[in-house]
Every structure is written in structure tokens, then in C-alpha cells.
């Protein structure tokens, strides 16, 4: 016991008996303090490799927000705020211009119902640097089950999002090429006679190639439009009448169904003739899609909180990758039991059989110390498969009571879903 404390206790004591009682009391308090500090240190050491950042707040959700009561060392490394600077403040110190308000509103709705939250948005470090923060927030309860605090496990996934964006930009380039190849195109000569039409146009109108070639373009339009179109071709040909011209109209399906289209015409100068090319869009289809989307707005509102990604951990044992952890979102996304999958241990049991080698190669590189991203397909509740982006990085986790090198992965759906038939 410190000399100054001994003197203070001596001055407050009536006699030696009282002094000895006070010394014993303060000794017990110090022992308990050391015991709790030891447990806290063990807890932090156990989780420091599993989470980039941990903070605990009080329960209140209304402005100015719940005060922070604890942050770990990972929080200070990511954000630049010391523990002294963070404790007593609210998580609002991390928010800024690009922080998604809708995500924060969804976070508040879920916590106000006592539910866990999983999501991501842009946050800001003390120096103003942006980073992409992924939250995993859960309630802490007392012995009677009452919620007393919120614990927030956080990841800085900025590097991962950059890797995803690189993949998506590459994918967009190929999507543009594919979209061009699927344009709905018809070519006519300067007299209005159909020269050729691609497969997309033939599918749109129901005509075969031989039925179109040599026919006149105005015969594909309802009677009330035919004369005006025919007149345009009967007069002296002038390129300016067709080059870069936009138009809207109705063409007629072979079975008589009217199809509203809009298009753009261009002039093609071939070796021995001039061709007018019309690139069409099916407005009727767009209108039906927009109507369907409008009718489905309520359904979209209901699925805002659905999980769109999950995390996992896998270790390498006897040259096999064994699952040791799947987050709760896995079951919501796939309809499969996370507990059953982890018990089986096979990370590829929910992966399309043609993509297993892609996943195993990816895991091997990450286990070798190289963070990376790959794409493959996972099974959904209806036994179709959906393409996901898997961002993996090296880590340390506990398996079989031992600390081992592992792959910590986060899996998210691509922006556009790709579904295929069953793979097993």
C-alpha cells in the first residue's frame, strides 16, 4: 500500500483496530480491481485479432446520441481518437458529409426495437480522412435480460471496397459490350426495303429472317402510320433526313400486338450502297417494368433490413480449409443452418460445384499472406445460385483451443444478381 494512502487511513482511524480494518478493506478493493483489470486485458487480447475496433455505448439513442463508455486500442488506431478523447462523446464524432443518413435511420430503428444491426457507411477519422466502416452492433443485457449498453464491433473495409469497385468497373466494361451486342437493330436501303435485321429485332417482332428481307419497312407499322413513312422514302433521298434522327412510333408484331418503340437512325456507307440503320428501344417493355416496380415499392420497403452480406473464418488443417465461424446473416441469405455448416467444416458446401476451385485458390493466396478478392456463386433458399464477391484477408483466430492462422472473409452480393440452376 502506498505510504500516502497509509497516512490518510491512519488519520481517519480511531485506533489501531480501525486502521487495520480499513487497510484490509482497501486491500480487498485493490485485489478486486486487479482481478477485473486482468479479465479485461484477457478479453481485449482474445478479440483484438477478430475485430478492428470495438466500442461500447450507453443505451440512450436520442440526440445527441449514446455516450461512449469504452473503446479498445483498435478504435484508436483506426480513428486517431485516444480513449480519453472518445469516452464521454458519442459515435457522432465519426460522422460527416458522406455518412449515409438512411443507414443511420435504419440503425436507429433496429436498435430501438432491441435488435442487432449489420451495415456499413462512410465515417471519418480525427484528421478528416474518410474510411468505409462496417458495423456489427449487439445489445448487452443485465442478469434480468434488460438491455443496458450497446457493443459495436467495427471493421475498416476501405481496402475491400476498392477491390470490389475494381471488379465492378471491369464487369461494367464487359456489360457495355454485351449490351451493344444485344441492341435491337434493323437496316433498310434508301428505298425503304429491309436489308437485314438482327436476332433481337426478329425476337421483338416475331418475324423470321426470310419474312423481313426484301419487305418494306412501312409494312411493319399500323395502317395509319404507313403512308407518312412511305412518303419519306418516295421523295429524293437526303441523308440529313435520317442521319442522327430520333423518333418514336408503334411497330406491329407478326401476331398484331402493337409495340411502342423509340429509336435513333444513322447512315452506313457500304461499298456499293447506302444503308439506313435504326437502333430501337422497346418502350412498351420499359413501361411494363416501371409499372411493376411501382407496384412493388411496398415490398422493397419491407426488405430494406434484409442481410446482403455475411462473414466467415476458416483455418487450414491437414491441407484442408475448415470453417470455424459463420455470421448470423449467412442463414438469412442462404436458408442454410450456419451451425450445421460449421459442424461439417466444409467451406465449399454452399458453393456452386464449378466454382469450388476458384474459392480454394483464393483461400490459398490469402492464407499465404495476400489479401484479395474473387467471385463465385453460392446457394440460395430456392436452390438457385447467386454471384458474390468474397474479400479475404489473413488473420488469427481460435480453433480447437489453439490460436491459428486463418482467413477472415466478408461475402457480399454483386450489384446485379445472377441466378443459375442447381449446381449439385
**Residue 68's CATH number:** 3.30.450.20
> What whole-number distance in Å separates Cα of residue 230 and Cα of residue 232?
5
Q: Which residues pair with 152 in a beta bridge?
A: 55, 137
Q: Are residues 82 and 127 in the same domain?
A: yes
For residue 352, what is its C-alpha cell?
A: 456452386
Question: How many domains are there within the chain?
Answer: 4
> What whole-number distance in Å separates Cα of residue 111 and Cα of residue 57?
12
Q: Is-contact 199 185, C-beta < 8 A?
A: no
- pLDDT tens string, the chain, 424 residues long: the values are 567 777 777 777 778 787 777 777 777 777 777 776 776 666 665 555 455 788 899 988 887 889 999 888 889 989 999 999 999 999 999 999 999 888 888 888 888 888 888 888 899 999 999 998 888 888 888 888 888 898 888 888 777 666 655 554 555 444 444 444 457 899 998 888 998 898 888 888 899 999 998 899 999 988 888 888 888 887 778 888 888 888 888 888 888 888 888 889 999 887 667 899 998 888 776 565 555 545 544 443 443 334 457 788 888 888 888 888 888 778 877 777 888 888 777 767 788 989 999 999 999 998 888 888 889 898 877 778 888 888 888 888 877 778 888 888 888 776 544 444 444 4
Q: Could you tell me which of 266, 225, 223, 274 has the C-alpha nearest to residue 248?
A: 225
- Inside any domain, residue 196: yes
Q: Are residues 84 and 122 in the same domain?
A: yes
Q: How many CB atoms lie within 10 A of CB 258?
A: 12
Q: Could you tell me which of 117, 146, 148, 144 has the C-alpha nearest to residue 133?
A: 117
Q: Which residues pair with 251 in a beta bridge?
A: 259
Q: Are residues 240 and 274 in the same domain?
A: yes
SS3 391: strand
Q: What is 72-121 written as a DSSP string?
A: -HHHHHHH---HHHHTTS-GGGG--TTS-HHHHHHHHHHHHTT--EEEEE
Q: Are residues 117 and 197 in the same domain?
A: no
Quote the DSSP letter at residue 253. Answer: -
Q: Which domain holds residue 411?
A: 306-420
Place of cell 485479432: 49
Place of cell 446482403: 308
Q: In which element (H, E) is residue 301 found?
A: helix 297-302
- Inside any domain, residue 164: no
Q: How many CA atoms lie within 13 A of 326 on its CB side?
A: 24
- Backbone torsion region of residue 192, taken as left when φ is above 0, otherwise alpha when ψ lies between -120 and 50, otherwise beta: left
Angle between helices 16-47 and 3-12 (to 10 degrees): 140
Q: Are residues 42 and 124 in the same domain?
A: no
- Inside any domain, residue 380: yes
Q: Are residues 252 and 284 in the same domain?
A: yes
- Inside any domain, residue 121: yes
Q: Are residues 218 and 283 in the same domain?
A: yes
For residue 317, what is its C-alpha cell?
A: 488443417
- Inside any domain, residue 300: no
| Residue 48: predicted pLDDT | 53
Angle at 138 between CA 411 and CA 62, to 5 degrees: 120
| Residue 176: predicted pLDDT | 47
- Inside any domain, residue 171: no
Q: Are residues 320 and 411 in the same domain?
A: yes
Bridge-based pairing of strands 194-197 and 385-399 is unpaired
Q: Are residues 137 and 222 in the same domain?
A: no
SS3 211: helix
Place of cell 417493355: 285
Residue 301 Cα to chain centre, angstroms: 17
Q: Is-contact 324 397, C-beta < 8 A?
A: yes
- Inside any domain, residue 247: yes
Q: Could you tell me which of 338, 333, 309, 335 has the C-alpha nearest to residue 323?
A: 338
Q: Provide the edge-to-edge strand list for the sheet that holds 194-197.
A: 194-197, 184-189, 274-282, 258-269, 245-252
Q: Are residues 217 and 314 in the same domain?
A: no
Q: Is-contact 52 72, C-beta < 8 A?
A: no
For residue 174, what is its C-alpha cell?
A: 464487359
| Residue 45: predicted pLDDT | 59
Domain final residue pick, 141, 156, 171: 156
For residue 150, what is its C-alpha cell?
A: 450497446
- Inside any domain, residue 170: no
> What whole-number distance in Å separates Cα of residue 266 and Cα of residue 279?
8
Q: Are residues 249 and 350 in the same domain?
A: no
Q: Are residues 246 and 339 in the same domain?
A: no
Amino acid at each position: 500500500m502506498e505510504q500516502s494512502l497509509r497516512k490518510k487511513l491512519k488519520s481517519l482511524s480511531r485506533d489501531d483496530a480501525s486502521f487495520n480494518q480499513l487497510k484490509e478493506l482497501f486491500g480487498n478493493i485493490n485485489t478486486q480491481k486487479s482481478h477485473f483489470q486482468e479479465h479485461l486485458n484477457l478479453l481485449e487480447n482474445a478479440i483484438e485479432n477478430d475485430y478492428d475496433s470495438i466500442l461500447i455505448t450507453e443505451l440512450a439513442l436520442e440526440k445527441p446520441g449514446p455516450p461512449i463508455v469504452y473503446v479498445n486500442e483498435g478504435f484508436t488506431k483506426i480513428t486517431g481518437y485516444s480513449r480519453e478523447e472518445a469516452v464521454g462523446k458519442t459515435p457522432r464524432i465519426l460522422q460527416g458529409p458522406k455518412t449515409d443518413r438512411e443507414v443511420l435511420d435504419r440503425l436507429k430503428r433496429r436498435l430501438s426495437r432491441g435488435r442487432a444491426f449489420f451495415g456499413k457507411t462512410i465515417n471519418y477519422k480525427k484528421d478528416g480522412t474518410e474510411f468505409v466502416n462496417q458495423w456489427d452492433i449487439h445489445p448487452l443485457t443485465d442478469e434480468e435480460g434488460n438491455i443496458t449498453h450497446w457493443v459495436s464491433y467495427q471493421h475498416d473495409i476501405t481496402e475491400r471496397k476498392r477491390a470490389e469497385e475494381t471488379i465492378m468497373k471491369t464487369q461494367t466494361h464487359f456489360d457495355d459490350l454485351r449490351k451493344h451486342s444485344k441492341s435491337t437493330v434493323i437496316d433498310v436501303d434508301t428505298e425503304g426495303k429491309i436489308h437485314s435485321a438482327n436476332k433481337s429485332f426478329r425476337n421483338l417482332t416475331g418475324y423470321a429472317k426470310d419474312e423481313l428481307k426484301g419487305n418494306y419497312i412501312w409494312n411493319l407499322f399500323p395502317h395509319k402510320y404507313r403512308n407518312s413513312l412511305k412518303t419519306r422514302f418516295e421523295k429524293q433521298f437526303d441523308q440529313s433526313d435520317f442521319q442522327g434522327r430520333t423518333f418514336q412510333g408503334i411497330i406491329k408484331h407478326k401476331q398484331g400486338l402493337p409495340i411502342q418503340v423509340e429509336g435513333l437512325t444513322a447512315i452506313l456507307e457500304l461499298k456499293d450502297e447506302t444503308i439506313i440503320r435504326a437502333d430501337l428501344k422497346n418502350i412498351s417493355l420499359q413501361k411494363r417494368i416501371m409499372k411493376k416496380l411501382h407496384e412493388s415499392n411496398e415490398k422493397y420497403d419491407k426488405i430494406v433490413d434484409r442481410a446482403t452480406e455475411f462473414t466467415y473464418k476458416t483455418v487450414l488443417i491437414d491441407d484442408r480449409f475448415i470453417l470455424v465461424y459463420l455470421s448470423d446473416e449467412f442463414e438469412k441469405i442462404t436458408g442454410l443452418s450456419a451451425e450445421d455448416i460449421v459442424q461439417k467444416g466444409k467451406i465449399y458446401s454452399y458453393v456452386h460445384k464449378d466454382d469450388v476451385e476458384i474459392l480454394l485458390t483464393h483461400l490459398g493466396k490469402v492464407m499465404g499472406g495476400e489479401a484479395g478478392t474473387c467471385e463465385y456463386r453460392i446457394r440460395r433458399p430456392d436452390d438457385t445460385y447467386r454471384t458474390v464477391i468474397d474479400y479475404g484477408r489473413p488473420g488469427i483466430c481460435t480453433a480447437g483451443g489453439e490460436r491459428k492462422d486463418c482467413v477472415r472473409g466478408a461475402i457480399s452480393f454483386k450489384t446485379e444478381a445472377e441466378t443459375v440452376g442447381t449446381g449439385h
